[in-house]
């Protein structure tokens, strides 16, 4: 199926299952963090997944190929980006398994009420709204900084949409790990699995993958580090 590709957009091969993604380089394109998160997520047959802040739909589309999820929903506040994600879903003929909803993460529980999800994923903005340089391009600022939602917003709404033993997956920056752990515990999403991502074996981690379980007992497993590159390459 061929969907409309608008001026300035491109169609990228995702190198899995023949899937392709419509992207606009002038706004924001997915990075390796989305791929790493989709590999880290564990989904059982028949489960329902919600991706918060789905952007161009990269995580739901990857999860459709990598997991036996029954249905995957992506929530995105930017209407143009959500519309582009829907075109990617249609282009890949995934309408039966993937749905893109336009809406605010801060209102997620109200949007999906009374539904619950078995798995919630998110690749959120890493930087605090006041931290560092804010790109004047709104789409990029929203993707990189907590402009429209905070870590508290994500965890609060996730808690409301999870039942006991539902799982939460997130990729973030190690410098915020203490804050993340404390806030996950506050919202009754117990950290259960952590994996650090290093660019090279002798370099500090630049990303951290986290799994939490709603209502679980405290006990964290630290996975072996994931090293992206070797010096021989």
How does pLDDT run across 117-171, given as a tens digit for each residue? 999 999 998 655 444 544 545 544 444 444 568 999 999 999 999 999 999 999 9
What is the reported pLDDT for 146? Answer: 46
Taking alpha carbons only, the member of 166, 149, 184, 1 closest to residue 75 is 149
Residue 223 DSSP label: P
| Residue given tokens 């709603």 in the structure block | 214
Reported as a single tens digit per residue, the pLDDT across 11-39 is 999 999 999 999 999 888 999 999 999 99
Domains and CATH numbers, the chain: 10-227 (3.40.50.150)
Reported as a single tens digit per residue, the pLDDT across 81-97 is 999 999 999 999 999 99
Q: In the structure encoding, which two tokens stand for residue 9, read together?
A: 């957009």
Query: What is this structure's pTM?
Result: 0.90
Residue 107 DSSP label: G
């Amino acid at each position: 199926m061929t969907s409309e590709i608008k001026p300035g957009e491109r169609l990228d091969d995702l190198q899995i299952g023949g899937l392709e993604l419509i992207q606009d380089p002038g706004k924001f394109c997915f990075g390796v963090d989305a791929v790493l998160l989709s590999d880290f997520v564990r989904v059982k047959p028949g489960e329902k997944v919600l991706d918060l802040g789905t952007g161009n739909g990269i995580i739901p589309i990857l999860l459709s190929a990598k997991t036996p999820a029954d249905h995957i929903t992506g929530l995105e506040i930017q209407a143009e980006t959500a519309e582009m994600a829907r075109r990617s879903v249609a282009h890949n003929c995934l309408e039966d398994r993937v749905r893109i909803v336009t809406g605010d993460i801060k209102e997620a529980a109200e949007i999906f009420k009374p539904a619950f999800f078995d798995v919630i994923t998110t690749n959120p903005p890493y930087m605090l709204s006041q931290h560092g340089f804010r790109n004047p391009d709104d789409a990029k600022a929203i993707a990189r900084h907590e402009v429209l939602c905070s870590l508290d917003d994500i965890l609060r709404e996730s808690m409301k949409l999870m039942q006991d033993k539902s799982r939460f997956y997130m990729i973030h920056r190690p410098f915020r790990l203490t804050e993340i752990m404390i806030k996950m515990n506050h919202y009754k999403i117990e950290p259960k699995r952590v994996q650090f991502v290093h660019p090279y074996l002798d370099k500090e981690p630049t990303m951290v993958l986290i799994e939490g379980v709603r209502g679980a007992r405290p006990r964290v497993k630290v996975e072996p580090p994931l090293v992206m590159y070797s010096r021989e390459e």
